[in-house]
Structure 1
């Protein structure tokens, strides 16, 4: 990575990530807390983020939100536009645009994802095909929480290195709540499903 891009890269990652929150116990997660861990990635100046939370719904119901990129703009925070471009078997190609406030440009990515649907783990693992990122890889893994088939343990992992800079005010705002909002929003959206 070009050293002159390092401050810009760190700024955009900070925009997409909150301050580090220590890993929490199953008891804390069970009570609704959300865990956010920042993990160094060898060979990258940008860390990976792992978000964990419990959702009061069966994994198959949560999966209906995670697996449907056509509706991410309605169901996920900060997603301005989303569209499934192709589906062949368990492989899905999606285009997603993350909305950033003016004067920043939005970030667009086309990714390919492998979907695995139960019976014990529902997962979506994606990699970048092209877009406004050097790297955009991640996953969702959904399973029953502590053996309860009516509660889901959701793990969202992302390593994203955008090709743009973000101002300090935006970075501060995002650090306050950005990543936990993903779990919070899914908790809200799953209640709307039949």
Structure 2
């Protein structure tokens, strides 16, 4: 019995390591990975997108920490404004443009900023808006020890108020998520 458990554990660890290695290879080649993560007690998953950006985490941080310019750097953001900053706490307002007949999504969020040097992180929650909930984070780290390559992880758990069917919301999120990493790649290259 102990031998079988040991073998099962070894097999599990080997599979996990090979999965991580395969993902690292995909990321190193420029692929953008999108995954959903179930949230306990919710039928709405957390969306996570991961990609490598050819710049240092500090340079990428200049883009993702500047919510006042999201209308210029992030897809589908029609309006953005930094309301206030108090130390590491930043209050932002954004308007996400949606196609007709849907109404645009508005939110005011509070974010905590942690600026490196190991991890640059922006973690937000909604204060008010026309979402049922809206929270998430950006995490930026050096990719595989390369100071000029950033492993960027963008995670969002959000659902608009109203009658947007879950399948439509999920499809829109899954199809638009890679565009967030692509937009940051473009912005940091300018």
Write out the 4+ residue segments of structure 1 that deviate beyond 6 Å after TM superposition.
Answer: 167-170
Deviation per CA, 1:106-163, whole angstroms, max 9, x where unpaired?
0001000000001111000001101011110100000100000000000001100210
User: Is residue 154 from structure 1 mapped to residue 152 from structure 2 by the alignment?
Assistant: yes
Paired position in structure 1 for 2:183: 185
Shift in CA distance, 168/79, structure 1 to aligned 2, threshold 3 Å: same
Paired position in structure 1 for 2:10: none
Distance 2:166 2:135 in 1: 25
Paired position in structure 2 for 1:60: 58
Distance 2:112 2:170 in 1: 33
Equivalent in 164, 170, 181 of residue 162 of structure 2:
164
Deviation per CA, 1:48-69, whole angstroms, max 9, x where unpaired?
0111000000000000000000
- Structure 1 unaligned runs (5+)? 1-21
Residue correspondences, number: 171
SS for the counterpart of 1:97 is: strand
SS for the counterpart of 2:139 is: strand
Distance 1:147 1:30 in 2: 12
1:175 is displaced (CA, Å) by 6.1
Deviation per CA, 1:148-192, whole angstroms, max 9, x where unpaired?
000000000110021023379966973673110100111111101
Distance 2:163 2:184 in 1: 28
TM-score (norm 1): 0.82
Distance 1:172 1:96 in 2: 20
Where in structure 2 are the equivalents of 1:6-155 lying within 5 Å? 25-155=23-153
SS for the counterpart of 1:179 is: helix
- Structure 2 unaligned runs (5+)? 1-18
Larger radius of gyration: 2
SS for the counterpart of 1:60 is: helix
